[in-house]
Every structure is written in C-alpha cells, then in structure tokens.
Amino acid sequence: MSVLYRAAKIAEQAHAAQADKTGRPYIEHCRRVVDAVETLDQKAIAYLHDVIEKGDGWNRDRLEAAGFGPSIVSAVDAMTRRPNEDDAAFVRRAAANPLALPVKRADLADNLWQARQIGASTAKYEDGLRILKEEFPS
C-alpha cells in the first residue's frame, strides 16, 4: 500500500465524524490542502496534518507504527499545535520544517477561504500567511 493511499485512509477514518468550518466533511479540507501541494510526501503530510490534533488516539508513535518515515512524522508533528501555543508561534514552528512549510501555507489558505465562506474572522489566517510570506518566502 502506498504512503499516499495509507495517509488518505487514515485521514478519512480520523476525520470521519468531523466537519470543517463550512459544515462540510472535514476530509474535504484535507483534500483541498493535498491538491495545493506538489510532492508525494507533501501530499501525505497534507492528508495527515490534523490527525494528531483532531483524530482520536493518533500520535507520533502510532503514525510510525502505521509505516510513515521520520521525515513525514516530524512534519505532521510540526503541524500539530501545542497546548497554549499562540498562532504566530505555531505558524513559525510549522514553517521551520521544510516539508511542513508548503503544507502549512496551503492549510492557512484553505482555512482563510473557509472563513470567508461563512463570514468569520480571517485575521489569524491572514496573519499566518503574512508571516510565511515575510519570514519564509518561497
């Protein structure tokens, strides 16, 4: 089973009962992030980017046991918010991981799009994208 297929199946299961900001199935957010990045590793990370934070029982060890290598697991971990971590610190920590950087950029862009769709505040996503543009230019 390919890394990408395995990541997609885990994300589908982990987010099965969850909805995104617009009320749509959460996996659609993951798929939009996947579509916005280029490499197979980035796409696997995009599927998995919220599994530790939002999926029941997922952690680094479980991802490793599922067959994901250290670079993918470290990138997913970089995209997992820590308790009491502020938005800017979270964006900077995620962006410091080269594999996570393009995924974080795509994640913020999709979250910004979702916030606009429902008329919610866009400030934290705009701020995150500004940090990436200024401090981690592509």
Q: What are phi and psi of 25, to 5 degrees?
A: -55, 135
Structural domain count of the chain = 1
Q: Does residue 104 contact residue 132 with C-beta atoms inside 8 Å?
A: yes
Q: What is the pLDDT of residue 120?
A: 98
- Give the model's confidence band at 67: pLDDT under 50 very low, under 70 low, under 90 confident, else very high: very high
Q: What is the pLDDT of residue 138?
A: 77
Q: What is the pLDDT of residue 31?
A: 98
Q: What is the pTM of this model?
A: 0.96
| CATH code of 47's domain | 1.10.3210.10
Q: Does residue 129 contact residue 105 with C-beta atoms inside 8 Å?
A: yes
**Domain carrying residue 116:** 3-135
**DSSP 8-state assignment for residue 18:** -
Q: Does residue 94 contact residue 84 with C-beta atoms inside 8 Å?
A: no
Residue 1 has pLDDT above 80, yes or no: no
CA dihedral of 9, 13, 16, 22, whole degrees rounded to 10: -50
- Calculate mean pLDDT across residues 109-123: 98
